[in-house]
Amino acid sequence: MTRISATSEQRDAFNRDGVLCLRGVIDPKLIAVLAEGIDSCLERPGPKGRNFNAVESPGRFAGDVFMWTFDDAMRQFLLDSPLAEIAASFMGSDTAVHMLDQMFVKEPHTPSRSPWHQDQTYMYADGEQLISIWVAADPVTIESGAVEWIKGSHRSGKLYQATGFDPNITYETDDYDVLPDIESNRDQHDIVAYETEPGDIVINHLRTLHAAPGNGTDQRRRAVAYRFTGDDAYYAIRKKGSQPIVDPGLAQGAPMPCDVFPKLWPAPVEAPSLHVDRPR
């Protein structure tokens, strides 16, 4: 397996911007495993798999989560890739705990945007060492739906209410601020997007604001984001937010490592064992 750790320049840039693209990190053979896993999950989704857009849309925008617990290729990709080590290195953490994998597939000509959001308030951890790594199985251009990131937004001190990718789901709660209208005021923000080739990765802090346009091309845009937590993170129970695929049985504030959120760095002696059945 490729060994990757952040240089001090890369870590400084990541800490400053809350987002960083690394080129050519994942072996093409492993990207093929990821592509196989994504296609398998599209064909046979897990318990929480769904389409984010209406069936009458020209292109499908599909999502799924915790694929590593029910799909062999997704599990192989997670365990054989260097993502956990990279996550630990960029978080400045001795350990990396895998919180969840989350798929975002925009088939050709899907008009559906991924709305502006921070990841943290959908998810199950608070702390500082919170990171996501976005990996695409296809070349990604601005036109096919490259994710846009607001540089430095992870340092605003704000936590925003999550926004439903599925317009039928809202996460309104007075625990967090209402997200301002970023799209109508784009010139007020330092927005960056990376066009990527398979093997490139984009790392973001879970508080970095981001969004993605639809896919206006004939090319598929298949991607998975891998969410990791570090030493200082702890379990967060949200009044509104998504739930893990299985109740981890953790109390608010508990350390993260458990069967549902396995510690993957340093590499475990025994592979994580959680298995979830796919609906037939």
Ligand X SMILES: O=C(O)CCC(=O)C(=O)O
Of the candidate residues 90, 116, 124, 134, the single one contacting ligand X (CB under 6 A): 134
Distance (Å, whole) CA 162 – CA 120:
8
Q: Is residue 132 a contact residue for ligand X (CB under 6 A)?
A: yes
Cβ neighbours of 68 (radius 10 Å): 28
Cβ neighbours of 196 (radius 10 Å): 22
Nearest to ligand X of 145, 230 (CB atom): 145
Interface pattern 54-83 for ligand X (x via CB under 6 A): ------------------------------
Q: Is residue 52 a contact residue for ligand X (CB under 6 A)?
A: no
Beta strands in the chain (DSSP E): 19-22, 50-51, 61-65, 96-106, 114-117, 125-126, 130-136, 148-150, 191-193, 201-205, 210-212, 221-229, 234-235, 263-265
Of the candidate residues 41, 73, 147, 236, the single one contacting ligand X (CB under 6 A): 147
- Assess contact for 105 and 45: CB atoms under 8 A: no
Interface pattern 99-118 for ligand X (x via CB under 6 A): -----x---------x----
Distance (Å, whole) CA 146 – CA 142:
5
Of the candidate residues 119, 126, 138, 200, the single one contacting ligand X (CB under 6 A): 119
Smallest separation, CB 269 to ligand X (Å) = 30
Question: In the complex, which residues of this chain contact ligand X (CB under 6 A)?
Answer: 104, 114, 119, 132, 134, 145, 147, 210, 212, 223, 225
